[in-house]
Amino acid sequence: MMLEALGLNIPHRLQGVTAQLRAGGVTAIVGPNGAGKSTLLAALAGLIEPATGTVTLASQPLAQMLPQERARRIGYLPQSGEVAWNLSVRTLVGLGRLPHRASPAEDGEAVAQAIATMQLEPLAERSLSTLSGGERARALLARVLATKPRWILADEPLAALDLAHQQALIQRLRGLAEEGRGVVLVVHDLALAMNHAHHVVVLDRGRIAAQGKPRDALSQEVIARVWNLDARWLGEPGHMALAM
> What pLDDT shows up at residue 15?
96
- For residue 160, pLDDT beyond 80: no
Residue 104: other Cβ atoms inside 10 A? 8
184-218 residue pLDDT tens:
999 999 999 999 999 999 999 999 999 999 999 99
d(CA 15, CA 9): 5
Question: In what helix (H) or strand (E) does residue 141 lie, and over which residues does it extend?
Answer: helix 133-146
Please determine, for residue 85, whether its predicted confidence score (pLDDT) is greater than 90: no
Tell the CATH superfamily of the 2-243 domain: P-loop containing nucleotide triphosphate hydrolases (3.40.50.300)
What pLDDT is recorded for position 81?
66
Quote the strand ranges of 69-222, DSSP E.
Answer: 74-77, 151-155, 182-186, 199-204, 207-212
pLDDT given at position 44: 97
